[in-house]
Structure 1
Amino acid sequence: MIEITPPATLAALWDEVRLQERPPLPLVRHAQVVAWLRRLQQTAPELFHIEEVGRSVEERAIHHVRVGTGARHVLLWSQMHGDEPTATTALFEVFEYLRRYRQEPRVAQLLSVLTVHAVPLLNPDGAERFQRINAQGIDINRDALMLQTPEGRTLKALRDRLQPSLGFNLHNQDWRTAVGKTGKPASISLLAPAFDEARSDNPGRVLAKKVCAVIRDALEPLMPGQLGRYNDAFEPRAFGDNMGRWGTPSVLIETGPWPGRETEGPLLRLNFVALVSALESLANGHAEQARLERYDTIPLNDSKGLLHLIVKGAHVFGEAGPAFVADVGVAVSPAVRKQEGTAQAGMAGVIAELGDLRVFGAFETVDAQGLTVVPLPARDVKEGDHVPLPPRRECELGVGQLAKLMLLRPVEPAGTWRVERIIRFDR
């Protein structure tokens, strides 16, 4: 039996196969995916079969990629939420790995045992707008029963035609998701969705759990303590849950927050390692041998347990009443904004929590004892400037407010304040 490629080896291989020319992840849109598909056809037409399987509400093509010749079929779909693009790019990096290393024993075995099917971009209209829902305003992942969306109908029809033995439902999750009460970010979360209210097991769901266990073993050396699991309560409208009812158990992979200034590369690397490890394990039989307890003991997520930054113990002016001492919690997430007619990728930050925030984890905690935190004024201000305290109405902070803040320290002469730090995540 051929062994699974070690995680460190796959992580290094990602550096060789990663897409060198790619837009920032929030800007992965239909035109970019079409260009990547065209390159697959040009570089390896004998390896990849590409077909149009449907059209979105706004008539953008939805594509299906097939690679491999094996009797065991698996189906992966990404970006059914238009603002969740990480796995879309990762899929094309997996394709590049399969193309470049197809003669290597592990890859040759994978391609001969499996037929891998992928829908890299299920919701192109949502991707164009960087929004979760489709152009109708419907969450495709809650349309498995009604099938009111053309995108949902396309996925259902493809599943019914292929009858895959396993599906991979690829998403991004809220950047506030923490691993239990550890305060650590859930950089990757997994789930083998239930197919009934009783959360029963059958051979298919057991296989999905074992594949999750394989992914856990592959990723934990690369991100210790940063892997979580979702609650498996049955969601009767969701595709993953209904796939199991229709005969295709699924593995949910959710990409979450990553600490540090550079986030896209590390998250793409994790997706690449997870997907290649899972596919290899299905091809070589290691998935069936995985231990179920490795799935069952993955810590459950805390969906709102993480903040990007906590300003601790500052003087705060609320929307009413006198100033008080409180912590200010800032949540940050990838964003797209229009600037001079073009879309720009960035990070958006808002005040998400206010008060005693000792139960939250954060990437950074700022000791603000003796400081006052107020909104950043419209005029140019830089750290080290001496400024007057703004009028009361311009000092107010509230949940939901953009995180454009400055921390002030009183200095001489009286009524003067020094700008100790500027915090902003709007660019």
Structure 2
Amino acid sequence: MMTALILSALLASTPASPRLSRNDVPGPQALTKLWEQVHAKELPLPPLVRHSHVEKQLKRLRETAPELFQLEVVGQSVEGRALYHVSLGTGPRHVLLWSQMHGDEPTATTALLDFLEYLRTHREEPWVARILSELTLHAVPMINPDGAERYQRRNAQGIDINRDALALQTPEARTLKALRDRLKPFIGFNLHNQSWRHAVGNTGRPASISLLAAAFDEARSDNPGRVLAKKVCAVIRDALEPLAPGQVGRYDDSFEVRAFGDNMTRWGTPSVLIETGPWPSRTPDAPLIQLNFVALATALDALASGKAEKAEVARYESIPENDSTGLVYLMLKGVGLFGADGKPFTADVGISVTRTVRDNGQGPALALVGKVDELGDLRVLGALETVDGSGLFAVPLSATAKEGDTLQLSQPKQHTVQTGQPAELMLLKPLEKASTYRIERIIRFER
């Protein structure tokens, strides 16, 4: 009896573990699991998603839940593809989200479609119902369908839509501006991708997600709208860091007078920029889509619940700023090279990679194009993959080479590695016989 009384007293004095209310958005890890349930598995990888895929998904949402989704064609691209505006919710405050202004920046388009599906299938959950009752959401999931068709940054006129906010020479820019002017949203989300060379500050860590509360003047002043955008970025940071520790950066906030995010803020729609960057995996798409999904869910919940207003601006301003050249895809560390005089020296080799889409005869397919981008002492750079080159030499790849083969290099000065050349290399181990090497590894990317 005494033991039971003591145990009861201890339990009574122990603070209860915090529990999520049914009104709270699930935590980041839980949201990634929920994303797996709603992700449109019929969609190809984001770089291969085309206007027809987006159109099909939006029409399916409208057909399966006509009481929830409104769908309208608000414009046409240069080549006549429909620019779709989907809206849902009944709240008095309007939110505008737009994705893929640049046709080769596709990750958030898929995440946005997945999030809309989540809202459809989970609308009875209290936190989802609160979003739909407090906010009215408006999304243009693919603002540059002609660019997406070619997997290129610019539209079919060759114009960067994100530098056309003032001149309005593209039909896509005119459509987005007219939609903003009609809706007058109190906040906007500008969804992009950034190159895989972006690192978080000087940490060498990949900037998998970068955030920005867009400036509205050269002085980068604050007003209530931009302060709110900063607080929303702070909420997103706190949600994403458990999923990507050290991989959330802050995008350069220099004012760009022609850009949509900056002008949206100036027009009265403070803009949150989300830039999706590199991920340390050979299969980066799923985790990057997940990060965008979690960012959208937590940000919109914070706006609907009032949590955003309570966030600390310091949590945004303390995010390390991006370094746009601080990362390479593959680093060969301390590898032997041959100079133009044939003499050996030791250096690091940094290989950068860009994604492109090519027709392989059976339709569009992804390709990784690599080049030697950096050479020398690269200790200040990070890498998604690092290879210890100690005791090895790097030389350009020969056409018939296979790993395990032996070869002779009688003229080392003919086997130099230089910046700008394709990332097609062999790592060689010197053997006892002079000028004889064994091929330890072949590095090959697309040209």
Q: Is 1:421 the counterpart of 2:441 in the alignment?
A: yes
Cα distance in 2 for residues equivalent to 1:93 and 1:250:
22
**Structure 1, unpaired ranges of 5+:** none
Q: CA deviation at 1:5?
A: 2.8
Of the candidates 110, 121, 124, which is equivalent to residue 145 of structure 2? 124
Q: Which residue is equivalent to 1:225? A: 246
**Structure 2, unpaired ranges of 5+:** 1-20
Q: Tell me the SS of whatever aligns to 2:133.
A: helix
Alignment-mate amino acid for residue 70 of structure 2: H
Q: Which residue is equivalent to 1:247? A: 268
Q: Which residue is equivalent to 1:172? A: 193
Q: Is 1:334 the counterpart of 2:369 in the alignment?
A: no
Alignment-mate amino acid for residue 258 of structure 1: W
Q: Which residue is equivalent to 1:310? A: 331
Matches within 5 A, 1:170-249: 170-249=191-270
Alignment-mate amino acid for residue 336 of structure 1: V
Alignment-mate amino acid for residue 83 of structure 1: D
Q: Report the identity percentage.
A: 65
Alignment-mate amino acid for residue 114 of structure 1: L
Check conservation: 2:279, 2:384, Cα contact below 8 A: no
Alignment-mate amino acid for residue 417 of structure 2: L
- Change in Cα spacing, 1:150 to 1:322, as seen in structure 2 (3 Å) is farther
Check conservation: 1:319, 1:398, Cα contact below 8 A: no
Check conservation: 2:234, 2:311, Cα contact below 8 A: yes
Q: Which residue is equivalent to 1:408? A: 428
Q: CA deviation at 1:370?
A: 2.8
Alignment-mate amino acid for residue 300 of structure 2: L
Residue-by-residue CA offset, 1:371-422 (whole Å, 9 max, x unaligned): 221121222x221111233866752322222211111122244332100111
Cα distance in 1 for residues equivalent to 2:342 and 2:428:
20
Alignment-mate amino acid for residue 408 of structure 1: L
Q: Is 1:348 the counterpart of 2:369 in the alignment?
A: yes
Q: Tell me the SS of whatever aligns to 2:301.
A: helix
Q: Is 1:63 the counterpart of 2:74 in the alignment?
A: no
TM-score when normalising by structure 2? 0.92
Q: Is 1:88 the counterpart of 2:117 in the alignment?
A: no
Alignment-mate amino acid for residue 129 of structure 1: R
Q: CA deviation at 1:261?
A: 2.5
Matches within 5 A, 1:104-183: 104-183=125-204
Check conservation: 2:100, 2:144, Cα contact below 8 A: yes
Q: Is 1:11 the counterpart of 2:16 in the alignment?
A: no
Check conservation: 1:310, 1:362, Cα contact below 8 A: yes
Q: Tell me the SS of whatever aligns to 1:151.
A: helix
Of the candidates 247, 250, 257, which is equivalent to residue 278 of structure 2? 257
Of the candidates 381, 399, 411, which is equivalent to residue 378 of structure 1? 399
Alignment-mate amino acid for residue 51 of structure 1: E
Q: CA deviation at 1:338?
A: 2.4
Cα distance in 1 for residues equivalent to 2:414 and 2:98:
47
Alignment-mate amino acid for residue 83 of structure 2: I
Of the candidates 367, 386, 389, which is equivalent to residue 409 of structure 2? 389
Alignment-mate amino acid for residue 275 of structure 1: L
Does 384-393 or 212-221 show the bigger shift? Answer: 384-393
Q: CA deviation at 1:320?
A: 7.2
TM-score when normalising by structure 1? 0.96
Residue-by-residue CA offset, 1:38-82 (whole Å, 9 max, x unaligned): 221222122111111111111111111111111110000000000
Check conservation: 1:375, 1:394, Cα contact below 8 A: no
Alignment-mate amino acid for residue 409 of structure 2: L
Paired residues, number: 426
Alignment-mate amino acid for residue 179 of structure 1: V
Q: Is 1:398 the counterpart of 2:418 in the alignment?
A: yes
Q: Which residue is equivalent to 1:102? A: 123
Q: Tell me the SS of whatever aligns to 1:276.
A: helix
Q: Which residue is equivalent to 2:16? A: none
Q: Which has the larger radius of gyration?
A: 2
Check conservation: 1:319, 1:397, Cα contact below 8 A: no
- Change in Cα spacing, 1:322 to 1:148, as seen in structure 2 (3 Å) is farther
Does 383-392 or 185-194 show the bigger shift? Answer: 383-392
Cα distance in 2 for residues equivalent to 1:168 and 1:60:
23
